[in-house]
Structure 1
Amino acid sequence: MSTPISITSIASISPLGASLKEIGKAYRTSDHHFRQKEFNGNLEWVAPLSEEIRAEVTQLKQSTAHYKMLDDSVLFAIYAARKAIIDADWQSENDFGINIGSSRGATTLFEKYHEDFITHKKAATLASPTTTLGNISSWVAHDLNSRGPEISHSITCSTALHSLLNGVAWLRSGMAERFLVGGSEAPLTPFTLAQMRALKIYSSVPSAPFNDQDIEVGERSQSYPCRALDFSKTQNAMVLGEAASMACLEKGVSEKTLAVVEGLGYATEILEHNVSISTDAKCFQRSMAMALGKLRPEEIDVVVMHAPGTVKGDRSEFTAIQKVFCNKIPFLTTNKWKVGHTFGASGLLSIEMAILMLQQQEVIKVPYTDEFQTPSKIKKVMVNAVGFGGNAVSVLLSI
């Protein structure tokens, strides 16, 4: 890439916490962040925000009359975006663009409004404006008083990385100097859970006390509702989580730089099925090869996999990595065993995870997997994401 693009801050709100210090600490434990809650009369594993963070979101919701009608997906985005621009020292700058996406959008409000419509045969006044996908970026722009372009989109689970891709394109075109990019998702709703159940990809791991102190590595995965990156599993084990994550992008490299976007790749493959990619994930092969550019595969130290926790999804991505990296497989990891699949926000949570590894020079391991060699130094990390539609994105970060 001819013009260096830096990530100068990253902020998120997730079950892991709301500060990089708190999130880094959470990653250093082998605990997951799942709880069982009742949906449609059934107990389901989910990864919700902590009660403390939820209270802060509620306070934000009640801070002004306009915000009381907003969906959690919008409130999560506002919360994380405020933190991101403060950390990037953009408080007095408002000439930046915004691109925030979401896979599902305003799920809670949409389900509520639709239920009311079925009951009363009449739509609420704000049903349309508060459930449009553009609602996310426009309200963040309003909250931050920004003057640049504002974009919202949905490209399913690769949405957040497509936001980053788009932000880089705007910066390199010269049409913007700064861009706030990210994804936000609040999918813990009855209808969303029912959709995942209908696809037969959701975790059915029974409730059990979590204590891995005396469990061998090969058996430990049974304590985890989501077994992402467990290539020996025979049942799908995806679990949903809620989150928002935002990154500030700027041209050049400075003392604020957390990581440099060294390579970008993207690809879409012709699907054989509506919800699954090919067994060797051709879209990932092409996106990773594009992100590598002229670099040798052995120069990549870590790959943060998309790895949703499904049997076919995890295996196909691993097969693609084997084809691209051959016998030089990097250290492989993911965060979905701990925080679940946050759909449109997941890619930026993986970027945050990659930045933590680059900054701390320590890999974040999946506790029930020990087959990948730990690198002596972490200089380059590749992050993958893909969603329904076979739309893969790979981002290469370096320090």
Structure 2
Amino acid sequence: MTVADTTVVVTGLGATTPLGGDVPSTWAAMLAGESGITAIEEEWAAGLPVRIAARLRVDPAGVLDRVQARRMDRCEQIALIAAREAWADAGRPEVDPERLAVVVGTGTGGALSMLGQDDVLETSGVRRVSPHTVPMLMANGPAAWVSIELGARGGAHTPVSACASGAEAIALGLDLIRLGRADVVVAGGSEACIHPLPLAGFAQARVHSTRNDAPRAASRPFDAARDGFVIGEGAALVVLECAEFAAARAARPYAQLAGAGLTSDAHHITAAHPAGQVRAMRLALASAGLAPTDVAQVHAHATATLRGDLTEAESVAEAIGRHPAVTATKSMTGHLFGAAGSLGAVTAVLALRDRLLPATRNLERLDPGVKLDVVTGATREVAPGAALTNAFGFGGHNASLLFAALS
């Protein structure tokens, strides 16, 4: 069997998000058009220009063993929670540990632990610093904990590519299986960094919404009155398998991961370039052996920044066309950064399964520059066809994934 002949399927989904503590509750909330964005009431946010965020609906402290949780950063905790759900959803495959790999991306890793333990060092001295500090702050921590949990010895990888990290992780999982290096890969992203420093930095860069008086109306992808994204936290992972391996154990896949495209702009540290996005989508199509007309739905990166949404709209129109139905679920979840692309993947798979596309919340007046069929108002039934999901990150990282329904 050649690389091109290898079919890769999705057999398990796991997530914990601002909309729900698992995949079913998150998906139900998306279809209902709910928002997970709330005001930050803590005293530490009082002086910040941004006082809104999309926090987890279910706190990981109530899910994990207390002793284990104390040794982990929040982004590690939620990666483990999502991995457990995805693994159980896949039926806990019996696989040779050396043929099982993990790829979990993140944008900031254990930044909360790094910042928190630095505060401890400054105020209380060296002896009060946690001995678990380094394993908690290291970016590969989520992948490491998941690999330990599942006994995966086929590699534990950590792409760190800003907001493209989770989607890039899934693309790398596809490669591992197609190249014959693994039979099963648990892949996705995790992020938890709601803290004064990134909030202040994003506010200074003028990319974060300042609608502090209307949190649920703040994230407005493609809307003419958008004023930036809303920081969020969460984790989303998928179980990928070689189709032959899945069939041999009588698994029931959700969909096929048909293709992926990864590119870099080499243009600007924060401003995206449409050429790189177009190329990522076209590479995904070529990888899947599909044509633009085969794509029925697009799960846009669409963070609600002024220039970013227009750039993506132009790129989708050029690479795919204006015919697909488009949704932007960050309007409900906020921007999960390293987990954004993997949550987009989970959403795309469920949309394929149910033939339903969640509406983009808060889209009251479409920006005239957006020449796409953006779903708004209510959930829409979508025509048969492939689902594309995009994730683009600071630094010029572009990732596009294509999922297809199984016949």
| TM-score of the two chains, using structure 2 as the length reference | 0.86
After TM superposition, give the deviation of residue 144 of structure 1 in Å: 2.5
Residues 337-375 of structure 1 deviation map (CA, whole Å, 9 limit, x = unaligned)? 000000000111111111111111112111426872767
After TM superposition, give the deviation of residue 90 of structure 1 in Å: 2.0
Query: Which residue does 2:123 correspond to in 1?
Result: 119
Q: Do the aligned partners of 1:94 and 1:144 also contact (CA within 8 Å) in 2?
A: no
- The number of equivalent residue pairs is 375
C-alpha separation in 1, matches of 2:382 and 2:301: 24
Give unmatched runs, 5+ long, in structure 1: 211-222
Kindly provide the amino acid, as one letter, of the partner of residue 257 in structure 1. Answer: P
Query: Which residue does 2:156 correspond to in 1?
Result: 150
Q: Do the aligned partners of 2:355 and 2:381 also contact (CA within 8 Å) in 1?
A: no
C-alpha separation in 1, matches of 2:385 and 2:23: 20
1:8 aligns with 2:16: no
Query: Which residue does 1:394 correspond to in 2?
Result: 400
C-alpha separation in 1, matches of 2:91 and 2:265: 40
Kindly provide the amino acid, as one letter, of the partner of residue 372 in structure 1. Answer: D
Residues 7-51 of structure 1 deviation map (CA, whole Å, 9 limit, x = unaligned)? 11111001121333322221122331111004442361111112x
Query: Which residue does 2:25 correspond to in 1?
Result: 22
Q: 1:336 aligns with which of 327, 330, 334?
A: 330
- SS for the counterpart of 2:64 is helix
After TM superposition, give the deviation of residue 376 of structure 1 in Å: 5.0
Query: Which residue does 1:308 correspond to in 2?
Result: 303
Query: Which residue does 1:270 correspond to in 2?
Result: 266
Q: 2:36 aligns with which of 28, 33, 36?
A: 33
After TM superposition, give the deviation of residue 125 of structure 1 in Å: 3.3
Query: Which residue does 1:244 correspond to in 2?
Result: 235
Q: Do the aligned partners of 2:71 and 2:136 also contact (CA within 8 Å) in 1?
A: yes
Q: Do the aligned partners of 1:321 and 1:329 also contact (CA within 8 Å) in 2?
A: no
C-alpha separation in 2, matches of 1:89 and 1:375: 29
Q: Do the aligned partners of 1:362 and 1:378 also contact (CA within 8 Å) in 2?
A: no
1:383 aligns with 2:389: yes
After TM superposition, give the deviation of residue 395 of structure 1 in Å: 0.6
Query: Which residue does 1:87 correspond to in 2?
Result: 89
Query: Which residue does 1:110 correspond to in 2?
Result: 114
Q: 1:97 aligns with which of 97, 101, 104?
A: 101
C-alpha separation in 1, matches of 2:401 and 2:309: 18
1:141 aligns with 2:147: yes
C-alpha separation in 2, matches of 1:160 and 1:201: 21
- SS for the counterpart of 2:153 is coil
Change (3 A) 1:333 1:288: same
1:49 aligns with 2:56: yes
Q: Do the aligned partners of 1:94 and 1:145 also contact (CA within 8 Å) in 2?
A: no
1:188 aligns with 2:186: no
C-alpha separation in 1, matches of 2:179 and 2:93: 24
Query: Which residue does 1:364 correspond to in 2?
Result: 358
Q: 2:344 aligns with which of 344, 350, 363?
A: 350
After TM superposition, give the deviation of residue 389 of structure 1 in Å: 1.0
Change (3 A) 1:375 1:292: farther
Q: 1:259 aligns with which of 230, 235, 255?
A: 255
C-alpha separation in 2, matches of 1:160 and 1:30: 23
Q: 1:291 aligns with which of 279, 284, 287?
A: 284
Query: Which residue does 1:220 correspond to in 2?
Result: none
After TM superposition, give the deviation of residue 145 of structure 1 in Å: 2.8
C-alpha separation in 1, matches of 2:151 and 2:69: 15
Residues 119-174 of structure 1 deviation map (CA, whole Å, 9 limit, x = unaligned)? 34535433223211122211222222333311223111100111111111111111
Q: Do the aligned partners of 2:170 and 2:187 also contact (CA within 8 Å) in 1?
A: yes
After TM superposition, give the deviation of residue 82 of structure 1 in Å: 0.9
Give unmatched runs, 5+ long, in structure 2: 367-371, 375-379
C-alpha separation in 2, matches of 1:295 and 1:375: 22
C-alpha separation in 2, matches of 1:92 and 1:263: 26
Query: Which residue does 1:216 correspond to in 2?
Result: none
